Structure 1
Amino acid sequence: MNEHSAPFAGPASGKLFCFGLGYTCSRLAARLTDKDWQVGGTTRSGRMHDGWDAGDTIEMHVFSGKEPINGVAEACAGVTHIIASIPPDEDGDPALRFHLSVLRALPNLTWVGYLSTPAVYGDRAGAFVHEDDAPNPGSARGTRRLAAERAWVSAFEDTDVSVQIFRLSGIYGPGRSAIDQLRSGKARIIDKPGQVFNRIHVDDIGTILTASMQRPNHGRIYNVADDEACPSGDVIRYAAALLGMDPPEPIPFDSAELSPMARSFYSECKRLDTARFKSELGVELAYPTYREGLRSLLDDA
């Protein structure tokens, strides 16, 4: 892993377990193991995503979400921090469904971070949305995530464990950016007038999570996003200019072939208010807009 511009803001040591060691958590795991943390977690296959070799530094476990983790008590022994990011299904959050009693019994656990989505807010017609605004999900995905948020908070309500909710905007970073899409020939500009999104660099997410570990606040919700919501075409065009390429021609939204997930993103429009994590957690983003993020990715390539 390359050197991060985003500073490490977390505790000096600990043991993290991630339910869902995907892109975001694996980037954070690499930063933590560099700081002598112990890290374990789950994937469906028991291997890291994208073929990343964790060697002996990450303890991997298979978790399909359909049955318990084999030897979960031993896997979580000594765990001080948990991050949960597995999407809930129609029966709720799988980690809680199968392992709640084990998690509540962990003697060293102090902090839980649940990685959620702004879809819990529903459509706001481009308006700013604050963490104190009432959720109003307009999709099954948002409804399930909201239920999972509440389940994680209530699961530890009568304990000394602090549970925080992080509503993550569109995640990008090394290997997953407009630069990569252009280079692979897969970049598209979907033209839907008035549509804007926030996004967030994956390593800024890690910085916010570790800062929260230092400042636990049970039940607190954080919007995790950059400082500039904009149309996705702006990002593609900027990346194309960095690469010296012509951007793709815009495709009208009504005629675009989109997956159900992508179409659900475009069905909602909002701007995320991000003042809370800055004021309460003391985090300044290393990549406050897509411009800084894309330039950094190009420089590191």
Structure 2
Amino acid sequence: MTMRLFIFGAGYSGRAIAREALAGGHAVAGTTRSPENAKVLPQIGIRPFLFDGSAPSAEMLAELAGTTHLVVAIAPGEADPVLAAAEDIIARSMPALRWIGYLSTVGVYGDHGGEWVDEQSECRPVSRRSRQRDDAERQWLALGETLSKPVAILRLSGIYGPGRNALVNLQKGTARRIIKPDQVFNRIHVDDIAGAAMLLAKQETGGVFNITDDEPAPPQDVVAHAAALMGVPPPPEIAFDDAEMTPMARSFYGENKRVSNARIKGLGYRFRFPDYRTALDALWRNGTWADAQSTAPF
């Protein structure tokens, strides 16, 4: 089965999904807000379209008409920009559409006091951005029911990969070891986002899936491991209460949970990077840790 994949938001995660699809022989188109960035997408193999949340162009409408698989990787604001601009188009002008994937966040679970959560757990979004994601999830699932099309919600944990990781932060001098007792986070390598998304797309499977690694871990441990790989001293420990942080950064520490990935594994997905050590070791060994090729903002 050959797909015609369209990605709303061909940024860091979107481009990783595109590369996975292109490697499988599928056609890929995607959006960016910037004319300058639109020049980069064809170098990867993505047919570019400008999209700023306004009505799609005639050229984009023609591409959407032949799209079989749709990925939405644009964060919502007060309203989901893709639904606001294209909900009617998706419902009425995409006759070939067979599957929709929406990239969300494990932030919708909110705080569970460090306990394990899975896709059946209660969502208690705390931050405004997580509440917006929770609302957008429900809207996309409702659209799927209306269209009788499978919609997969991919709840992502903290994203990292080439050009975006603790090794880069150490090089830049921005890495910190902030200590909050019993605090853990899950993470996900961008290549596993791509692999899981393409598995769901190929199977045309709908539902909610946590796309996250096997090992929720304290953030300071990740920095220490990266420092050991680089052969540099780790930054000093800073107590959470004493750390200078932006309100957004501090809000992440207000949510503590361990996120299960059992459901996506049950479909046959095997994580390439099941924990941060495996991933950082590979990035360091392969010399791809500082590669900024796929990190331009879109």
TM-score by length of 2: 0.91
Asked if structure 2 preserves the Cα contact closer than 8 Å seen for 1:104 and 1:156, the reply is no
Q: Is 1:287 aligned to 2:276, yes or no? A: no
The root-mean-square deviation of aligned C-alpha atoms, in Å, is 1.7
Equivalent of 2:86, from 85, 95, 99? 99
CA distance in 2, matches of 1:263, 1:61: 36
Tell me whether 209-218 or 172-181 shows the greater mean CA deviation.
209-218
| One-letter amino acid matched to 1:68 | A
Q: Is 1:68 aligned to 2:55, yes or no? A: yes
Describe how 1:70-89 pairs up with structure 2 within 5 A. 70-71=57-58, 72-89=60-77
Q: Secondary structure at the match of 2:146?
A: coil
Q: Deviations over 1:127-172 (max 9, x none)?
A: 0011011211112111110110010111121324210101100011
Q: Is 1:59 aligned to 2:47, yes or no? A: yes
Q: Is 1:262 aligned to 2:241, yes or no? A: no
- Residue 291 (structure 2) aligns with: none
Equivalent of 2:7, from 18, 24, 45? 18
Gaps of 5+ in 2: 288-298
- Residue 139 (structure 1) aligns with: 127
Question: Structure 1 residue 46: deviation in Å?
Answer: 4.0
Question: Structure 1 residue 257: deviation in Å?
Answer: 2.5
Question: Structure 1 residue 47: deviation in Å?
Answer: 4.7
Asked if structure 1 preserves the Cα contact closer than 8 Å seen for 2:19 and 2:44, the reply is no
CA 1:156–1:190 in 2, change beyond 3 Å: closer, same or farther?
Answer: same
- Residue 30 (structure 2) aligns with: 41
CA 1:80–1:53 in 2, change beyond 3 Å: closer, same or farther?
Answer: closer
Asked if structure 2 preserves the Cα contact closer than 8 Å seen for 1:18 and 1:40, the reply is yes
Asked if structure 2 preserves the Cα contact closer than 8 Å seen for 1:124 and 1:269, the reply is yes
Asked if structure 1 preserves the Cα contact closer than 8 Å seen for 2:41 and 2:47, the reply is no
Equivalent of 2:183, from 179, 195, 213? 195
Question: Structure 1 residue 252: deviation in Å?
Answer: 2.0
Structure with more of its chain in helix, by fraction = 2
- Residue 298 (structure 1) aligns with: 284
- Residue 146 (structure 2) aligns with: 158
Tell me whether 31-40 or 137-146 shows the greater mean CA deviation.
31-40
CA distance in 1, matches of 2:36, 2:191: 21
Q: Deviations over 1:145-201 (max 9, x none)?
A: 011001011112132421010110001111111111112222111111111000011
CA distance in 1, matches of 2:44, 2:191: 22
Gaps of 5+ in 1: 1-11
Q: Is 1:230 aligned to 2:225, yes or no? A: no
Asked if structure 2 preserves the Cα contact closer than 8 Å seen for 1:46 and 1:63, the reply is no
Q: Deviations over 1:204-248 (max 9, x none)?
A: 111111111132333x11111111101111001001111111110
TM-score by length of 1: 0.90
CA distance in 2, matches of 1:52, 1:175: 17
CA 1:168–1:96 in 2, change beyond 3 Å: closer, same or farther?
Answer: same
CA distance in 1, matches of 2:229, 2:247: 31
Question: Structure 1 residue 261: deviation in Å?
Answer: 2.5
| One-letter amino acid matched to 1:274 | N
Asked if structure 1 preserves the Cα contact closer than 8 Å seen for 2:29 and 2:48, the reply is yes
| One-letter amino acid matched to 1:288 | P
Question: Structure 1 residue 255: deviation in Å?
Answer: 2.6
Identity percentage of aligned residues: 42
Question: Structure 1 residue 202: deviation in Å?
Answer: 0.6
Q: Deviations over 1:91-119 (max 9, x none)?
A: x2110111111112311111111111111
Question: Structure 1 residue 277: deviation in Å?
Answer: 0.4
Question: Structure 1 residue 64: deviation in Å?
Answer: 2.0
Aligned length, in residue pairs: 285
- Residue 181 (structure 1) aligns with: 169
| One-letter amino acid matched to 2:7 | C
